[in-house]
Amino acid sequence: MLIVTTDAVAGREVTEVLGLVRGSTVRAKHLGTDIIAGLRNLVGGEVREYASLLAGTREQAIDRMVDEARGLGADAILAMRLQTSTISQGASEVLAYGTAVRLK
């Protein structure tokens, strides 16, 4: 599955627009991760525990979007975007969305 953030793919023609596809997931922080991240925050630097959590969350949202696009028979997703929103203190949603298309 070709995924691009642009509205077109150079050298390829869109033959059919299949519509909006999306995938989302909600993740919450873990108490142990919070404690380690809090300590790391005191000394500064990257909070690897949160970075890892967010990376996995983004990948899961993208995978779910791709599954939806495959179900429509798409071979590409154009104009892919990621959006994050806070659900509650300590829990966030990551949404991946784009336009499923067939390319020539």
At 38 the pLDDT is 64
How many Cα atoms are found within 13 Å in the side-chain-facing hemisphere of 31?
0
Position 89 confidence tier, pLDDT thresholds 50, 70, 90:
confident
Distance between CA atoms of 19 and 65, rounded to whole angstroms?
A: 12
For residue range 39-73, list pLDDT tens digits in order.
666 666 677 777 788 899 999 999 999 999 999 99
**Residue 94 sits in which domain range?**
2-28+60-103
Q: Does residue 92 carry a pLDDT above 70?
A: yes
Closest C-alpha among 25, 26, 7 to residue 17: 7
Any domain includes 48? no
Any domain includes 51? no
CATH code, domain with 8: 3.30.110.70
Amino acid at 15: T
